[in-house]
A and B are shown apart, each in its own frame.
Chain A
Amino acid sequence: MEAKNDPRFATAMTHNDADPSRKAVSKFEESLLAVLQFFLDPHHARFPKQPRRDGDGSGTGGGHHFPSKEKELQVIRNGIARPPCLSRASVDLIEDTLAKGCILFLVLEGGWRSDRFLHAGQPQRGRVWEREPLVERTLAFSSHVIEFLLWATAEKVHETNAPWDAPPERLTPADELFFWLAFDACRTDPDLIAVLRRKNAFRANPLCWISFPADIADDNGAASPDFAPVMHGLRSIILACLQQHLLKRWIQSEGKKCNTSDWTKLRQQGRAEFAALQAFLGAAAAAGRMDLARFVLGTNAALFQGDLTPAFWTGGLQGSGPARLADRLDTQRSALAVPRQMAVLEQWQERARSIGYFDDDYAASQMWKQEWEAVDGDTIARRAHAAVQMLEPLRTSAASEPVEPQAQ
């Protein structure tokens, strides 16, 4: 995350026609670069301008920008004849775009914040480049990224039989970040997503699972991946940068649930979310990285500013739903996947309270307690618990409304 807010980067992305450093690329390469920039920045918030193709079929690095993301999606859907190899100039541009784009994304999404995260079990404050040494935060991309870009540009992704996939165990943390961004950029196109979600590169991507589990899980509810690797090394640094991004994403997702009218869809979404969050929190607890689950606490804190009823999540369901009560109840419970995680976080808090000064994870526990208290975790947990209990057909009033014992 060395990129910082460097004015040189903005210059590189917007150089004008008179710039002698412009590089000529073929039509295919231009499309590939456009697709790459679309993956890294689907809304053109960070890459306002695209390479321009000259009249002879070659392009240059600078010029007009596409009016919308539909153009890049069309390239992915239509495909374009693939040349035998890429020019040196285009490879340089791909590398440059990939490196700067991913770094810029991470920095803007949270790396710039002066925040506290654990490093070797101790809380460290600062921006990501202040907290982590350079050697630990260097992104390295494998050839799978280029192969995917070639495939996505050359094939009609939604109907191609050309086999492309990448073995998840061979992907670097930077690859996973890129594939996550690529998947996210394509989420507006159901045909593309239906194809991509079947690829192991996306299916076993922990970032996909923790960001949009409902999109990545299939109808039968595929098992979420092992989140243990995410809690260490570069993956944990990436995840720390994405905390605010994930927080916004989950709050938005929870707010939209009441627009879901389909019982089956809500059930599948909730099940996928519950499985992903449970696996993620389990891995975070095992690795002692509760700080990386901050977005789960934050999402609940944002939701439970006041008391909520299950209708906040299930209010949009139409009709009487499935015939069986068991299925209806399962749908409603699944919809409250996020509040149900507060039970796990509450256990973390209980454990943190029991950690003594001389225990190994004292500093980490103190940090968690501060985060819990900063959002008034006890109140949030009580409200979340009450909302979850409202769904239970055999809830007991004594248990759901505990009375504080009075000393006499």
Chain B
Amino acid sequence: MSRAYRISMKESDTRCLKAGDEIGTQLEILDILPPEDMATLLREELEKRGFAEQDDGTMARSDGAVTVTVDPCSGEVTVKAQAEETVSQEARREASGFNDVGPNEGSLRERVKEQLKQDLNKKFEQEQSRLQNEATEKLEKHLQKIQPEISEIVNKVTRDALKEKAQQLGTVKEIAEDPETGSLTIKLEV
């Protein structure tokens, strides 16, 4: 006599998911002074703004999950966002069979187990995608926030370099700066 049975299985897993995004770009520092002097000015300005020197000579600042790294020598800027989360997921499946026809209980269990693994992987992939979007969103927001600051840094370094260059050329008589327009006028006697 044929008898039906039902198998109910549950699988759970916990994984540590990591996602990251970063962009690298080049600061356009004008060659007003020799490269090493421009690098020194940039390093000083970055220090004032909370950047700390790293072992490799770069300057870095962490703003939460986002790290901004500047190489004063090359002017290369890297902004990196990272996200990490420990995620637990659970998947359930049920299957029914007959004791005399179709696959036996052992192979049915194997098949359901395989499907559960696939279900779990799919769920973790979705979580990974969500985490990736979060990291990218953080990066995009931070880029908007940091762009004016980077502009200020470049302008400040350019102004300082111009002043230093003027001092090298002659005696500075007058320096006028207009923070509104960003203009800088240096009068010097050669």
Contact = CB atoms under 8 A, between A and B. Distances in A.
Nearest to B159: A398
Contacts of A393: 23, 25, 79, 143, 147
Given A324-B132, A325-B140, A398 B154 contact: yes
B15 to A, nearest CB: 19
A329 to B, nearest CB: 6
User: Size class of A's contact patch?
Assistant: 10 to 19
A398 B23 contact: no
A87 to B, nearest CB: 62
Contact of B139 (A325, A392, A399): A325
Contacts of A325: 21, 23, 136, 139-140
Interface string A365-395: 0000000000000000000000001001111
User: Size class of B's contact patch?
Assistant: 20 to 34
A79 B21 CA distance: 50
B33 interface: no
Interface string A320-344: 0001111001000000000000000
A392 B76 CA distance: 12
A324 B155 contact: no
B151 interface: yes
A143 interface: no
A395 to B, nearest CB: 8
Contacts of B146: 394
Given A323-B136, A325-B140, A394-B147, A399 B21 contact: no
B54 to A, nearest CB: 19
B150 to A, nearest CB: 5
A270 B23 CA distance: 18
B140 A398 contact: no
A396 B23 contact: no
A393 B140 CA distance: 9
Contacts of A398: 151, 154-155, 158, 182
A329 B23 contact: yes
Contact of B30 (A326, A329, A399): A399
B40 interface: no
A398 B153 CA distance: 11
A57 B165 CA distance: 86
Interface in B50-89: 77, 79
Contact of B133 (A323, A329, A399, A402): A323
Interface string B143-170: 1001100110011001000000000000
B129 interface: yes
B91 interface: no
A397 B158 CA distance: 12
Contacts of B147: 393-395
B28 to A, nearest CB: 3
A37 to B, nearest CB: 50
B91 to A, nearest CB: 24
Contact of B21 (A324, A389, A394): A324
Contact of B28 (A326, A396, A408): A396
A399 B139 CA distance: 23
A291 B187 CA distance: 45
B45 interface: no
Contacts of B25: 392-395
B27 interface: yes
Contacts of A396: 27-28, 150-151, 154-155
A400 B133 CA distance: 31
B22 interface: yes
B115 to A, nearest CB: 27
A386 to B, nearest CB: 12
13 contacts: A323-B132, A324-B132, A325-B21, A393-B79, A394-B147, A396-B27, A397-B151, A398-B151, A398-B154, A399-B29, A399-B154, A402-B30, A408-B187
Given A396-B27, A399-B27, 4 more contacts: A325-B136, A326-B22, A394-B23, A398-B182
